[in-house]
Amino acid sequence: MEDFGTPADDSAADDREVFDLCDHCGRVVAAADLLSALVPDSSALHPSDPELDGRRVLTACTVEHLAELVEHYRDRPFVLEEQWAGKVCRALAEQEDAVPLSLVARMSGLSVQQAAQGVEWHNARAREWQARYGDDAAADEDEDEP
């Protein structure tokens, strides 16, 4: 069983300070002192609300670090196919059997064409990875097996 909340009878819960990490340097920062910005990012998927996909919350310990993070994401292209690939992967995450593309599209809130382009984008990245690291990665896995 997982517990994600504070017990109802925990009277000290309101006195606890909340902390987070600076996305730039990793410094631990009290949530009250944290700076944040919302930036477009085609790789960002919201865990529960697909309407919030494509937006990333950045957190930083200083104005300078936040500015550097925002600049980094400003320079990163927003690739719709990347976002569609993520939506397809999220839709398929709990599927054990093969699913027709038309159902994948419905489950992910995409058109069939968008779902197909997302799958192709994902597969192209997988082929690139395989071409670059595949032989060495497969050899490493074989060495680890008993």
The model's pLDDT over 110-121, given as tens digits with 9 standing for 90+, comes to 999 999 999 999
Mean pLDDT of 59-64: 96
Give the sign of the dihedral formed by CA 25, CA 31, CA 35, CA 39: positive
Q: Give dist(CA 123, CA 100) in Å, integer.
A: 17
| Beta carbons within 10 angstroms of residue 60's beta carbon | 24
Q: Give dist(CA 146, CA 142) in Å, integer.
A: 9
Is 14 a residue whose pLDDT tops 50? yes
* Per-residue tokens: 10: 């925990």
Closest CA to 91 of 25, 40, 24, 45: 45
In a 3-state reduction of DSSP, which class is residue 36?
strand
Count how many Cα atoms sit within 13 Å of the Cα of residue 129 in the half-sphere of its side chain: 8
